[in-house]
Amino acid sequence: MRSRILLFLFISLFLFVRPVSASEIKSDYVVEYFLSDSGVALSAHVKFSVTITNLTNTSYIKKLSLSFPKSYSITNLKTTDDKGQAVSEIQYEENKINILLEFTDPTIGKDKQNTFYVEFDQGNLFRQNGAVWEVMLPTLQDASRASYQVKVHLPENTTRKIAISKPNPTSIHGTEIYWDNPKTKTIYAIFGDKQFYETQLQYHLENPKASPVYMELALPPDTLYQRIYLESISPQPVSVYSDEDGNFIARYNLKAKERVDVTAKAVLEVVTKPRSDIEQLTASQVEGQASYLLSPSKYWDLSSTNSFPNLSKPQDIYSYLVSHFSYDYSRLGKNLKRMGAEQAVLHPEQAVCVEFTDAFVAISREKGILSREMEGYGYSQDPELRPLSADADVLHAWPEYYHPQKKIWIPIDPTWENTSGLDYFSSFDVSHLVFVIHGKSSEFPYPAGSYKTGQSKDVFVQPVALAPEAQVQISVDAISIPSQIIDRSTYKTKITIVNQSNVYVYNVPLEIKSDYLFVSPDTMNIPLMVPGERKEIVLEYGAREKGVRRVSRIDVQVMNKNVYSAKVIIAPFTYSIALKLALAVGAIAIIWLFFFVLKRKKV
């Protein structure tokens, strides 16, 4: 499977009729990629330099073959050697492309060198993927007795910087990036620090009961590495809120036997580094979650298996899974039955992404490491190298562990390292979209793509280049405050704060000001509100001074903007007594007058 992206070097060596062994030559490779950006697509001009050094007086190389994956586009091939035009031929096989090279007149003798120069255009290796450039470069399969250097030359006028690289470059000089003797099977790199995905998610809710019920669904949440821009949700839910794990939950009321099809459209922004604006909130949330983030759950229980005494750190657990588990491609496209951590450990050859994740979470929690599961969508253009679970649309699962010193969640993906050979522990990518967070429960809530009543496709994801606009708007529902109050009474009213934004809002300051009224609370801070959420606050207020008639003002400010103002007459208690007495006397006078008139009529 992995051979699809590797660069093979097959060397045919000839001295009369005797093959030359690898110990008789030394080879050095320099591969350069010169990028061009048309504004629509990326292309690369590729230059290979292969220098062969003879280590004996009687050995030399006459022919050489370079092999590439079949998907590796090669056009405008040009080959030369030290003495001019070299003989070359392209052969196409079932899974690869071979470039056959032959020296015209190789130099013979110890320490003598012969060099092939190969140039061609490549149009599908570097990809404009939404807002980022992405590349997965093949590397030399067997670099023994060889030096190997990869160079990437970015366009001169580009402002893009390399954000993620697996492995890390040896050096970067302006727009030139170098890898010397990379040990990994591939080089994976992303240029650009954020990616945007346009999503359309469909949820099919059905109430089979003969009585009304409420049902909830999970929309993609904000995380340390993701931000949601909600465009629309139809029909509108009766309420929305954020649960203990930070999931974005929408509630619907369904009548007896009713079915409701919900469509949510949103743009998800995925970033390479933790969002500084919510790091502090995340740390404070973990304090309240810590107890259950260490607890076993239905799929995170290892009670009858060994305790893995040699695995004490997240990287130990991760490396164990990458090396001991095997991805079972035969389970894809079927109605997968989730095995859980215990069975995954007992049958490591049958793992898919949920088994890698369940095992990591279970072992980590047993070792006192706070951990959880993220489930959602892994944007992958190669289902073999970066596979997905096909059980519910094309979902993917991966774990996160909490770093107590850095006070951040760190996402990792042992599944994709196992299948691609890329390091998903020390750095992540912008291809993982979170639909739900599983910390308290290993099952709930269900992610988008799981709310099915048939075989419909309900998850649509597409990278886009343009960043959406955050439209922040906080409003207050009409407040019922009487136009007149009595100075000796205390009053209560409800204030409803509404997040009409298309994004999460954080640390929303609320301030109530008045000149002659005391107000409690007069200030507060709302840590988080999801798009469309309503927060209800009970406000107590009354006169600061007694016995003085005044006209007071009350103002409600949210995020330093005045959202409500009203005038209130403060009436002394004695005034209210006099008023009541006057009303009573008036009422008696009216009654007496009524009976007096009635009596006169009778007379």
In terms of Cα–Cα distance, which of 479, 471, 409 is closest to 439? 409
Q: Above pLDDT 70, what percent of the chain? A: 89
Question: Whats the size of the chain, residue-wise?
Answer: 603
pLDDT at 18 (0 to 100) = 41
- Reported as a pLDDT band with limits 50, 70 and 90, residue 330 is confident
Q: Quick: pLDDT tens for 493-505.
A: 999 999 999 999 9
Q: How many helical (H) and strand (E) elements, i.e. helices and strands, does the chain have?
A: 6, 36
DSSP class per residue in 50-112? EEEEESSSS----EEEEEEETT---EEEEEEETTEEPEEEEEE-SSEEEEEEE-SS---STT-
pLDDT of residue 594: 66
Asked whether residue 27 carries a pLDDT value surpassing 90, the answer given is: no
Q: In the prediction, which pLDDT does 14 show? A: 35
The model's confidence at residue 2, banded by pLDDT at 50, 70 and 90, is very low
Q: Which residues contact 454 (CB under 8 A, 6 or more apart)?
A: 204
- Which tokens hold the place of 110? 């110890």
The residue that leads in pLDDT, 574 or 399, is 399
Distance CA 267, CA 217 (A): 18
Q: For 245, which DSSP code?
A: T
Question: Hey, CA dihedral for 208, 213, 216, 217, is it positive or negative?
Answer: positive
486-490 average pLDDT score:
92
**Stronger pLDDT, 592 or 224, i.e. the higher one:** 224
Please tell me whether residue 324 adopts helix, strand or coil conformation: helix
Mean pLDDT of 110-126: 90
| Banded pLDDT at 171 (limits 50, 70, 90) | very high
pLDDT at 473: 94
Which residues, including other chains, have CB under 8 Å from residue 265's CB and lie 6 or more apart?
198, 199, 200, 201, 230, 231, 232, 233
Q: Which two tokens stand for residue 140?
A: 């030399």
Share of the chain above pLDDT 90, in %: 61
Which superfamily is assigned to 474-571 in CATH?
Immunoglobulins (2.60.40.10)
Kindly list the distances between the CA atom of residue 424 and the CA atoms of 197, 231, 279, 411, in Å, as whole numbers in the listed order.
Answer: 21, 31, 22, 8
Distance of alpha carbon 59 from alpha carbon 54, whole angstroms: 6
> Distance from CA of residue 295 to its chain's centroid?
25
Q: Which of 68-82, 196-210, 325-339 has the highest mean pLDDT?
A: 196-210
Q: Which residues contact 461 (CB under 8 A, 6 or more apart)?
A: 197, 198, 199, 377, 379, 433
CA distance 40 to 353: 34
What three-state secondary structure class fits 486? Answer: strand
pLDDT band at 22 (very low <50, low <70, confident <90, very high): low
Q: How confident is the model at residue 143 (pLDDT cuts 50, 70, 90)?
A: low
270-310 pLDDT per residue, tens: 999 999 999 999 999 999 999 999 999 999 999 877 778 88
Give the residue from 187, 90, 182, 176 showing the smallest Cα distance to 138.
187
Q: Does the predicted model carry a pTM greater than 0.95? A: no
Segment 309-329 mean pLDDT: 95
Give the pLDDT mean for 21-30: 82
Q: Write the DSSP symbol of residue 3.
A: G
pLDDT for 97 beyond 70: yes
Domain 2-191 in CATH 3.30.1890? The answer is: no
Beta strand 87-92 with 84-85 is unpaired
Note the pLDDT of residue 13.
35
What is the arithmetic mean of pLDDT over 107-128?
A: 89
Helix (H, G, I), strand (E, B) or coil at 530: coil
